Chain A
Amino acid sequence: MGKLIRSAIVMLLLMTVITGVAYPLVVTGVAQVLFPSQANGSLIDREGKPIGSTLIGQSFDDPKYFWGRPSATSPQPNNALSSSGSNLGPTNPALTDAVKQRIEALRAVDPGNTAAVPVDLVTASASGLDPEISPAAAAYQVSRVARLRGMSESQVRSMVIMATTGRQFGMLGEARVNVLKLNLALDGR
């Protein structure tokens, strides 16, 4: 038994060195060389300073910006230190109430728009950090943003298209619009 325990301890140490030290260091080394931007958080740099990440959504409720997915993180939305969804069940009245409030908020800043709201714009994302909305959710907001910024709808629409990614390789996932990229472009940054 003593010999077995000794073998087990040494084996655990050796395996820790291989899988817990060597392996992550090799991956870090190679990733930093081959994919430096991705491995360091896909940061958007302006004048050498990061001003956001293309992968991590920020919160917008100013009507002149495109709004992203609702975020259930606390204490503030899109808190990247505490990623989480709402975990509200489908029949929970709190979910229906939250969706109602979001519809009202969208309509309050865009009174003329009576179209049904695309579902992703009124439901909380899984991570609370979703950087993207569906093309439908962007289209829903185009007239509002154009009006408040004094731009033509076609101008705004072409900026939306610039921030849109199709299905990957044409066959995986969903088409989507990056909200932070789009809003930065609108601000001329």
Chain B
Amino acid sequence: MTSFDIFQVILFLGVLLVLIKPVGAYMAMAFADTPNGVNRVGGKLERLLYRLAGVRSDEQMGWRRYAIAMLVFNMLGLFAVYALQRLQQWLPLNPQHFDALSPDLAMNTAISFASNTNWQAYGGESAMSYLTQMLGLAVQNFLSAATGIAVLLAVVRGFTRRSADSVGNFWVDMTRTTLYVLVPFSLVIALLLSSQGVVQNFKAYVDVPLVQNTTAVETVKDAAGNTVKDAAGKDMTKSTTVTTQTLPMGPAASQIAIKQLGTNGGGFFNANSAHPYENPTPFSNFIEMLAIFLIPGGLCYTFGSMVGDRRQGWAILATMLLIFVPLCLGAIAAEQAGNPALHGLAVDQQASAFQAGGNMEGKETRFGIAASGLFATITTAASCGAVNAMHDSLTPLGGLVPMWLMQLGEVIFGGVGSGLYGMLAFAVVAVFIAGLMVGRTPEYLGKKIEAHEMKMASLAVLVPCALVVICTAIAVMTPAGVAGVANPGAHGFSEVLYAVSSAANNNGSAFGGLSANTPFWNVLLGVCMYLSRFLLAIAMLAMAGSLAAKRHVPPSAGTLPTHTPLFVTLLACVVVVVGALTFLPALALGPIAEFLMSVR
């Protein structure tokens, strides 16, 4: 690892930490009922929306009603995205005349965007009309992110309210998050990105003449769509001379801003944030990385401020950083060390003033190793899933880190809202374990943790784990599952494990070699994404409901303080131990086996 690599990590974390307090304090204001600077400006529009939708903003919902509103709203969004994809050939803003997507692919994409996963089994520039991208995908980028934060607010109210039968109003939480946080932040980020060269227009694609002609090689297919073989049994190919390049266009900057900020991750183009029109410069890359952690990090502060003890928020943030930093440095070191398979060849993988060196397969020159490794760990620590390098081509250990970060349950920053409520589930488990050690009823933030809360927290922790393990098993035992694998050996298994880990933790990044646009994969991953997202949210809302009904317990001499380094360490251990115990056997068959083979 070079000193520049380390400097990049320090620079990123430094800027992030500076921003956390102002962003967190602003969000606390934006979510609040009391009159303040934010709702003085936007209150009129906010109240107009409530009036039009027939929502009574002062209505307080119990956790069940809150959950139903959340489910209905997201289900409607899911239908809308499905319909747009199936009807886009008849709708406007489709300059490339893209056809409707297949039902299984459209369903997979609809669930993917409604569940804040943004797994993509399609290529944006070759499948989706501008209208589908704008009205379907980008809207869900906002609303799924707002949903995550709304659920978090309800969970936090479970801790702050006393003997209450309500956890807030879903419509109010969702609306305020969108209006006051997501839209204004996205506006700023979109303009910064577009200043760097991210496209933002409604033009048709542009044809340019090539300086030097190239050759397109395609396999010849017969009328039935089967590949034609030549006399030697090889696929027959035909070559054609290509003289032009068609440059894709579209309203990309606006969509990319929210895709990063809302930890969605669904690229406007197939190559996602590796595409030069989606992430053109090192500065745009820095903005995109910052945008991923900005809200999940800021929410830690907001949480501390809402529960009336900022130290609680800093403790959660410290736990996240404690796990993130070593894993991030590990991944960068693995990538910088290069690919041992190329050691015998006349290839220079050494970092110098003139090149980044390292494992450059699947990476962009402008990002090199540091900005690619950092992005890969940020996007998987948070449940973003945008990529600026192809994860399938990462070194065995460099690929293990993103995979494991997802498997930890997307709680190291995690998704907007969902990452923090996931971490609060782990915190409940942690105080319970500590309580067992000393034989006392555990408490967290002044609420007794009892059987019901433990059941819900365990559910939230175990649902994604179970989905990953079970669905990976299904995929590798099914011919239709194995058919999608691209790379041979242990790496092929990693592709499957990565895909399921990504879907079942609502991340959305991929080892892209896997051919996932088949009915089998579309359905399997669709089920994973939906169950993981909404079962978890319901479990956490149920926990919030029962916590809100409890009385406040004043801290006593026997209460475990939850803002100390001791608790931070305990919480980090719980997260790591659950992740390690569940996934080490599977990881041993994938990246670890590949690592051992590559260094022998």
Which residues does A use to contact B, with CB under 8 Å? Answer: 3-12, 14-16, 18-21, 23-24, 26-28, 30-32, 34-35, 38-43, 50-53, 55-62, 65, 69, 74-93, 95-96, 99-100, 103, 114-120, 122-137, 139, 167-169, 171-176, 180, 183-184, 187
Contacts and interface: CB of A to CB of B under 8 A. Distances in A.
B33 to A, nearest CB: 19
Q: Which 9 A-B pairs have the closest CB atoms?
A: A173-B282, A126-B274, A85-B390, A87-B513, A89-B491, A83-B271, A134-B355, A172-B282, A174-B368
Interface string B73-93: 100110010000000000000
Contact of A31 (B68, B175, B191, B487): B191
Nearest to A187: B211
Interface stretch (B152-160, B336-344, B579-587): B336-344
B368 A173 contact: yes
B360 A55 contact: no
B197 A84 contact: no
Interface stretch (B21-29, B48-56, B412-420): B48-56
20 contacts: A10-B52, A11-B73, A12-B143, A15-B178, A21-B135, A51-B211, A53-B247, A60-B211, A76-B217, A83-B274, A84-B270, A85-B390, A91-B396, A91-B597, A96-B345, A99-B347, A119-B349, A119-B359, A172-B8, A180-B211
B208 interface: yes
B285 A173 contact: yes
Contacts of A119: 338, 342, 347-349, 355, 357-360
B534 interface: no
Nearest to B286: A172
Given A62-B212, A76-B215, A80-B247, A39 B594 contact: no
A187 B242 CA distance: 20
B7 A171 contact: yes
Central interface residue in A50, A76, A139, by most chain B CB within 10 Å: A76
Given A27-B251, A134-B365, 18 more contacts: A4-B69, A9-B76, A23-B254, A27-B194, A38-B280, A43-B208, A56-B277, A83-B274, A85-B274, A86-B390, A89-B594, A92-B487, A93-B488, A103-B347, A118-B355, A119-B355, A130-B276, A176-B366
Given A5-B72, A19-B138, A87 B195 contact: no
Given A11-B49, A19-B143, A38-B194, A127 B366 contact: no
A117 B357 CA distance: 11
Contacts of A80: 125, 245-248
Interface stretch (B198-206, B312-320, B444-452, B567-575): B198-206
Contacts of A131: 276
Interface of B: 7-8, 11, 49, 52-55, 68-69, 72-73, 76-77, 80, 123, 125-126, 134-136, 138-139, 142-143, 171, 174-175, 178-179, 182-183, 186-187, 190-191, 194-203, 205-206, 208-212, 214-218, 242, 245-249, 251, 253-255, 257-258, 269-271, 274-277, 280-283, 285-286, 338-342, 345-349, 352-368, 371-372, 387-390, 392-396, 486-492, 494, 511-513, 594, 597-598
A99 to B, nearest CB: 6
A42 B247 CA distance: 11
**Chain B at the A interface: mostly helix, strand, loop or mixed?**
mixed
Nearest to B219: A75
Contacts of A11: 49, 53, 55, 73, 171, 174-175
Contacts of B69: 4, 7-8
Nearest to A30: B191
Nearest to A39: B200
A6 B247 CA distance: 42
A65 B513 contact: no
A57 B597 CA distance: 35
Contact of A89 (B11, B142, B392): B392
Contact of A86 (B68, B354, B362, B366): B362
A88 B393 contact: yes
B269 to A, nearest CB: 5
Nearest to A102: B347
A14 B49 contact: yes
A180 B187 CA distance: 32
Contact of B76 (A8, A14, A65): A8
A126 B218 CA distance: 21
A41 B199 contact: yes
A130 to B, nearest CB: 5
Contacts of A126: 271, 274, 362-364, 372, 387-390
A70 to B, nearest CB: 9
A31 B73 CA distance: 32
A136 B280 contact: no
A160 to B, nearest CB: 11
A86 B277 contact: no
A59 B212 contact: yes
A42 B195 CA distance: 10
Given A32-B201, A80-B248, A173-B282, A52 B208 contact: yes
